[in-house]
Amino acid sequence: QQKAPPKKKKKKKTQIIVILLIMAPSSSSSNNASFTKIFEQIHHKDRDYRCMAVSDLTQELQKDTYKPPTASDVEEKIHEVVLIALVDIFSDCRDLAIRALPTLLKKSTKEANKKTLQILCEKIAPTEKTFGPHVDKEERSRHKESASVALKTIGVEGYSKEVSKEFCGKCVPFFDRVLGDANKATVHDDATEILQILCETKAEFVEAKDVSSLIQTTISKIEDKTYGQTSRKRCAGILASLSRAANAKELADVVEKTAARCEKALAEKDVIGCELGAFTLGMIASKDGGGKRLVAESATGGGGGAKKTKKGGANGSLASKTVVPVLSKLCTTLVEKMENNEEADEAFASIAEQSLMALETICGRFGEVTSKSAKEKQLEEILQMAVKLLTYDPNYDDDEEEEDDVPADEMETCQIRTPDHTMKDADDECEDDNDDDDDDAYDEDYYSDEIEDDDSWKVRRASARVVGVILCSASEGILQRHHEVVFKKFFKRMKSDREDAVKLECFDALTAAFAAFPKTCESGLTRALVEKARDLAIVRAQQECALEKAKKTSQSAIAAATKRKIASLKLLGKIGRANRRLAFVEASEISRSRLADAIAGAAVTTFTDSGASSEKDSSANLRLEAVAFASEVLRVPTADELDSTNGDALASAARIAFAKKDIDRLTEAVFSCANDPYYKLAAEGLRASACIVRRARPNTNDAVQDKESCSVLASGSLERAISRLSQQDEDQEVKDASVTLLGDVLTHLGDTLKPAQQKQALDLLLERMQAESTKLVATRNAAKVARHSPAQVNLSGVAGDVIREFASFLRKNDRHLREASINGARALVERSDEKTLKDADCVSFVEDAVTELGGFVENDAHLAAMCVNAFAAICERCAKLKNSAKKASESEPLANALKFVSSSLIQRQALLTLERYFEAAVVARKETFEVIYNELSSISTVSPNDMETDDQAMVRMQQQDIASVRLEMKNRAACIASATLAAGDKIIKSTIATLIEEISDKDGKRQVISLWTLGEIGKRTKLDDSNGIDNTLWKKLEEDNTDEVKTAAAFALGSCAVGNKDAFLPKILETIKTTKKGVQEILKHGALRALREVIIGADGSSEDGVLAGESSKMEYMMSPRKKRVKREDDDVLFKSTQQAWAVVLAKARDEDLKDDAVKADVAEVLGRFVARNHSLVKEIEEALNSIVKGAKTPENATKAALLVDAVRFALVSLPKAEHFKCSLESFVGLVKDADHNCRRAALQLLSVIGRRNSSQNEDLSPLLAKVLPDVLSQLQVNDALIKEIDYGPFKQNFDYGLELRTAAYDFIDVLLTRPKSSLGFAIPEDDIESMVDTIVIGLKDPERSIRMAVHATFEKLCRDSVPNGAENVVKNADKVCELLLETMWTTANEKAVQHEKDQVDELVKSALKVVKAMESIPDVESYSKIVETKKEIVDDAPLAKLWTGMYDSPPHEI
């Protein structure tokens, strides 16, 4: 009876299962029914039924629930439907079948796919059994055509790895056999087309044996002169695509055979053979991913590594040994004929063109994978040859000496030869001679029939491309040696070549190169190049404009001129972006006037409505380029850029001085573009108009210089903005640009508008804020108007509505809109008086902001800081906005602000905002001070003694926790200090008295926070020592307190000395300098820490000052006036502290310091001194030399290490733009010292130098060869530095060499992963090789953090972070992969806690990242050890699971 209920439940389950089983076939039967209908319809006589069958089948296949039928005959019939439709007489049915075929292959079984592919292949190359006798010739042709189109279509599609392998495994060997069968020559064209598509898209899926076989077949076809030229070119394409899948040996064999074939063809004067060989080499170079195999050193793919054939970068590469010499030889043949004045056959020109195209590809690959010397040598030779061919023009005697010294502004326009070679008749030429004074640049026989089909321009165009590529990658040395000849020829071609294609290529090449070479050249060379290119581009643009306005210029000539103007403007834009100051800011007035003339001429339309649409499109593109360039040259620095210390930002926005007439011309042209119906042109014109408006008065605090012209400009700009916004169905880009222009007019020139215009503009801005499509851009501009517009702009009519819109936007889930709203509300509050902004309107914003502040504090620190800052602005105006200020300082916003102080997301700027708010809240409501003080001071710290453990990882975590608590205490103290100082003198005195009581209470929990708070107050105000502050703080330093109390006491003492120099600083200095025996060392240490705080306080970079309530924007730094006064005070304070310099230096040099904390503080104090006064580094160097020359004792070694650490602290404290003028060789040289502490200090200094990206690195580069062997020797675990420490109950080994090894690996990582541009110097290839070979031992280091760091280094090396990085990795692949596998198989102890398990997981993941990076190495499948390692990951379930979690896809074998 007790078992009865379970039986009933079981019966119910059984019944449910039976029902499901009964229901399941119903779905299957419906599918079978639909398929049965399809099978019937495909044989129907009506073509519509047949099309319907294929369409229905495609829909079934595309369903996610579709799976291949279990019955093989059903799947066969499905494939049969598609195959029948492929050869249907009706073309629409065939098209449907072709579209269905890729989906069918993706959803079918392997056997069915193989059978279908076999049928398609045999229809292209049929056997006797393929077709029966009843199939006539026409039907066979249809079968062949349909099958060919089907295979090409499915060849382009992307499939899974398995399907792609099936496809290639079936089709590639079949068509390989077809190509090898001479009896099937009629289908060779189809076979080559299909193979070219397959190899282009799926070469990596072709099996190795098929790759080898097809390579041999295609080579034989290329060598067969009886074969068609088109088919031979296709075979060359197949060969190039297969080179990606070929191993290193096969690639080398293909390249060498092709090169040999070129040389043979050249000897036999076989033009087609030479062209084909150059074409093949160029294709191989283009298909070689990144050029890493062709241009890098030769490698053979046996086993796990690679062996170099030769040292020296590209000297051992296929490109330098084989490809470049043969291509150069093909080009040199034409060069020799030019130099010998021999008449060259046109065939040589076509050979040179193909060779130059191949060289262009190869030159583009040299940049990252070759050594500097090899790269320069190769590029220099190619450059010289290309420059010679740049003048190749057999039908025109190019007398270069004739125009060498002609200035750019006197160049004449040459006769235009349009792309379609339209020639003028004799009458037109005569009329042109009468109308224009311009002479032809060529003789009358230029237009003779002999040169009608002249193709020499193709050689010049290809040469220009090669020169452009080399200009982009050439070193300063090449440019210094060849710039005169290169640019002389280059500019001449740009000026007077007969063919537009060559001119445009020259412009494009120089435009691309200009971003690169000004950064690598000396200033004199840069100036010459910039000025020459600028003048040439301006004159060419002016000349093309003049040509366009000529009376009888043909439309095709105008179109050609338009292209050249666009090219000129692009070149000018690139020149300006590369070096704005040299090109435009420092240009002569004449050059600037010509620049404005060129821009205005290009921006004004020249085509009428009757012109062709293509001509109007060309004109629109030209105007678009011109007005975009106008925006660039008219741009002026914004207020933020002017305040910035970033020199690059200021240089990029430096003001270009134009004359008034030039500005007027540009304004007219820009306004015409703003009125254009083409939306892109109109938007760009509106943006350029905004630039002109901002330029009229960049600083809104300045008076208007020319009120009349500014009023006209403002009215015209406003009219255009209103006009565009009033149109229906306007483009979004135009709307945004119009609103921005509207905001700029009100902000910069609003006081020049009439009151009615101001009201109209403000009402329209409010209307745009309420529109969904423009609310964001309108809100931003409203904030800008509120903050920066002149006081004469009356906002009273819209202020209430605007701030209510700001309030409503806070509820939107759009961060950018919220940010703009808070900014605008704060700006409106800070700007407005009681008449402008009503208290009731502001209350609505405060209420919504209070509601949202809690979420901001939790999730978005930036918005929280902005919101708090807005509350601060409201509270500061409590007299005018009483209710708003009351609500902004009530318990809810105050509680959120207090909570924000403890947030881990808080940054320095947010802290300053909080200080401002607490200060303003106390001013608005005095009673808030008690709440602020009680809440912020209620924190206690955990002593390090309470967290003792023997786990080093846990110790590090605890140290991080202590650091975060200290930071929170300091933040709280700063906020309490701000609130205290705002509360008045009475509160200040009582608060200080309370703090002293808390500090004096030894068992009190608020000791530490009280000390921090007292320090912050003392830093900001003069203290009355009637409470015995000085004695209390010194007493705390003498007592046996915890480290947290001593640290806080030292901070308080030093900070009080910053604000009260005369009262506190003398005793600090006296304590440090004293030699009395009665003074405790603990007191001296405390005084030393206090001195550190004094030096930090004297450094203006660390003092941000108090936010000014009268500021019109969110200020995080002091005003320039306050900053200057403060700086002078800082200098006085710093000079006072320098009395202690000699004492501290003597302490480091002479005393035997035992305490690590004391040594660290001494080093930091010395470093802070040196960072402020760079000349002091010389004294440290002298002290170090005296120690090094002394006795070799552990004590002296400790002193030397301390002095090196001081220099490291100084470098860390320096701004990146600064560096020491002297060399640091003596400090770095300690890496050779016998003491491990000295070596550790030197290595850490090296790492800091390498990461600073400053001129200090130039001093490091010559030292690298000296110190690198010693650095590498520190990577090995030193057993002598592992000591056993007896803790009483247990013993533990401690590795004193861990810090040393960590510093060594860190420095190696700097060298191997930072590019030359960041590091400051290039590393020799031999050094790279030795470093990679050595850091392999780090993969088995017992320390987990070191292994993870080495994993990260190898990951970057696999992606070629340095030249030949990946090649050096595969050379060590056997060791690397073996050690990676050991790491990946690491497991945590069963008794391990969760954080230990997480650490093991992170270690394994870092190893997996290395394997993932290895997959990107070219030819990776030829390195067996890497392939085996990936297979181990695939086969290991835990590793595969980790991989899937990291990359969202399961691992696959290589």
pLDDT band for 804, please (50, 70, 90 cuts). Answer: very high
Q: Half-sphere exposure of 1259 toward its Cβ, with a 13 Å CA cutoff?
A: 17
pLDDT band for 405, please (50, 70, 90 cuts). Answer: very low
pLDDT band for 403, please (50, 70, 90 cuts). Answer: very low
Mean pLDDT of 1049-1058: 90
pLDDT band for 523, please (50, 70, 90 cuts). Answer: low
Mean pLDDT of 865-894: 90
Tokens representing residue 945 in the block = 């003694």
Task: Give the DSSP per-residue string, 1429-1444.
Answer: HHHHHHH-HHHHHHHH
Q: Are 1339 and 1376 in contact (CB under 8 A)?
A: yes
Indicate the DSSP class of residue 450.
G
Is the per-residue pLDDT at 843 higher than 60? Answer: yes
pLDDT at residue number 717: 93
Cα–Cα separations (whole angstroms), residue 1272 to 1225, 1244, 1248, 1300 = 18, 14, 17, 11
Q: Are 974 and 981 in contact (CB under 8 A)?
A: no
d(CA 671, CA 676): 9
Mean pLDDT of 995-1003: 83
d(CA 598, CA 536): 12
Q: Are 1325 and 313 in contact (CB under 8 A)?
A: yes
Q: Are 829 and 880 in contact (CB under 8 A)?
A: no
Global pTM value: 0.69
pLDDT at residue number 1174: 84
Helix H segments across 516-583? Answer: 523-548, 555-578, 580
pLDDT at residue number 1078: 55
- CB proximity list for 212: less than 8 A, separation 6 or greater: 246, 250
At 968, which helix (H) or strand (E)? helix 952-983
| Residue 1322 buriedness (CB in 10 A; 0-12 / 13-18 / 19+) | middle
Mean pLDDT of 1066-1091: 81
Q: Tell me which of 8-17, 646-655, 1183-1192 is least confident.
A: 8-17
Q: Half-sphere exposure of 169 toward its Cβ, with a 13 Å CA cutoff?
A: 12
pLDDT band for 83, please (50, 70, 90 cuts). Answer: confident
Mean pLDDT of 441-449: 34
> Rounded mean pLDDT of the chain?
77
Is the per-residue pLDDT at 1000 higher than 70? Answer: yes
Residue among 516, 196, 511, 465 nearest 357 (CA): 465
Q: Tell me which of 988-1002, 1189-1203, 1415-1429 is least confident.
A: 1415-1429
- In the structure, how many helices (H) and strands (E) does the chain have? 66, 2
At 7, which helix (H) or strand (E)? helix 4-41
Query: In percent, how much of the chain has pLDDT > 70?
Result: 76
Higher pLDDT, 1290 or 80: 80
d(CA 1293, CA 961): 25
Q: What is the pLDDT of residues 567-602, one digit of tens each?
A: 777 767 766 666 677 677 777 788 888 888 888 887
- Cβ neighbours of 1359 (radius 10 Å): 14
Is the per-residue pLDDT at 614 higher than 70? Answer: no
Q: How many Å from the N-terminal Cα to the C-terminal Cα in the chain?
A: 63
pLDDT at residue number 1073: 79
Q: Are 1328 and 1365 in contact (CB under 8 A)?
A: yes
pLDDT band for 1348, please (50, 70, 90 cuts). Answer: very high
- Cβ neighbours of 1146 (radius 10 Å): 12
| Residue 612 buriedness (CB in 10 A; 0-12 / 13-18 / 19+) | exposed
Cα–Cα separations (whole angstroms), residue 269 to 266, 331, 366, 735 = 5, 14, 31, 64
d(CA 359, CA 571): 24
Is the per-residue pLDDT at 1161 higher than 60? Answer: yes
Q: What is the pLDDT of residues 1378-1423, one digit of tens each?
A: 999 999 988 888 778 888 888 889 999 999 999 999 988 877 877 8
Mean pLDDT of 195-220: 86
Range among 68-77, 92-101, 1260-1269 with highest mean pLDDT value: 92-101
Indicate the DSSP class of residue 582.
I
Q: What is the pLDDT of residues 896-954, one digit of tens each?
A: 999 998 887 788 888 999 999 999 999 988 889 999 998 888 876 544 444 444 444 44
Range among 309-318, 624-633, 1439-1448 with highest mean pLDDT value: 1439-1448
Residue among 1007, 985, 1062 nearest 1030 (CA): 1062
d(CA 428, CA 423): 10
Is the per-residue pLDDT at 129 higher than 60? Answer: yes
Per-residue exposure over 1067-1097, b if at least 16 CB sit within 10 Å of its own CB, e if not: bbbebbbeeeeeeeebbbbbbbbbbbbbbbb
- CB proximity list for 266: less than 8 A, separation 6 or greater: 274, 329, 330, 333, 351
Q: Tell me which of 378-382, 759-763, 1394-1398 is least confident.
A: 378-382
Range among 100-114, 650-664, 1251-1265 with highest mean pLDDT value: 100-114
Tokens representing residue 623 in the block = 């105007």
Higher pLDDT, 236 or 1321: 236
Tokens representing residue 1294 in the block = 């401690």
Range among 1-10, 816-825, 1117-1126 with highest mean pLDDT value: 816-825
Task: Give the DSSP per-residue string, 1197-1231.
Answer: HHHHHHHHHHHHHHHHHS-TT---SS--HHHHGGG
d(CA 1434, CA 1414): 15
Length of the chain: 1454
Indicate the DSSP class of residue 655.
P
Residue among 1223, 1227, 1248 nearest 1307 (CA): 1248
CB pairs under 8 A, 24+ apart, for 290-293?
A: 290/365, 290/368, 290/369, 290/1360, 290/1418, 291/319, 291/362, 291/364, 291/365, 291/366, 291/369, 292/369, 292/1360, 292/1366, 292/1367, 292/1418, 293/248, 293/251, 293/318, 293/1418, 293/1419
Indicate the DSSP class of residue 204.
G
Separation of CA 1401 from chain center: 30
Is the per-residue pLDDT at 776 higher than 90? Answer: yes
pLDDT at residue number 529: 66
pLDDT band for 420, please (50, 70, 90 cuts). Answer: very low
pLDDT at residue number 765: 93
Mean pLDDT of 728-745: 91
Q: What is the pLDDT of residues 426-437, one digit of tens each?
A: 333 333 333 333
d(CA 18, CA 33): 23
Is the per-residue pLDDT at 505 higher than 60? Answer: yes
Mean pLDDT of 297-314: 40
d(CA 438, CA 546): 11
At 1293, which helix (H) or strand (E)? strand 1291-1295
Is the per-residue pLDDT at 1255 higher than 60? Answer: no
Mean pLDDT of 952-980: 73
Task: Give the DSSP per-residue string, 802-854.
Answer: HHHHHHHHTTSS-HHHHHHHHHHHHHHHHH--TTTS-HHHHHHHHHHHHHHHH
Q: Could you give the angle at the alpha carbon of 12 between the alpha carbons of 6 and 17, nearest 5°?
A: 125
* Ramachandran quadrant class, 1218 (left: phi over 0; alpha: psi -120 to 50; beta: rest): beta
- CB proximity list for 370: less than 8 A, separation 6 or greater: 295, 296, 313, 314, 317, 320, 378, 1363
CB pairs under 8 A, 24+ apart, for 1287-1295?
A: 1287/950, 1290/950, 1292/950, 1295/1342, 1295/1343
Is the per-residue pLDDT at 225 higher than 60? Answer: yes
Backbone angles phi, psi at 226, to 5 degrees: -80, -15
Is the per-residue pLDDT at 680 higher than 70? Answer: yes
Cα Rg, the chain, nearest whole Å: 40
Q: Are 269 and 229 in contact (CB under 8 A)?
A: no
Query: In percent, how much of the chain has pLDDT > 90?
Result: 15
Q: Are 1043 and 944 in contact (CB under 8 A)?
A: yes
| Residue 593 buriedness (CB in 10 A; 0-12 / 13-18 / 19+) | middle
Is the per-residue pLDDT at 624 higher than 80? Answer: yes
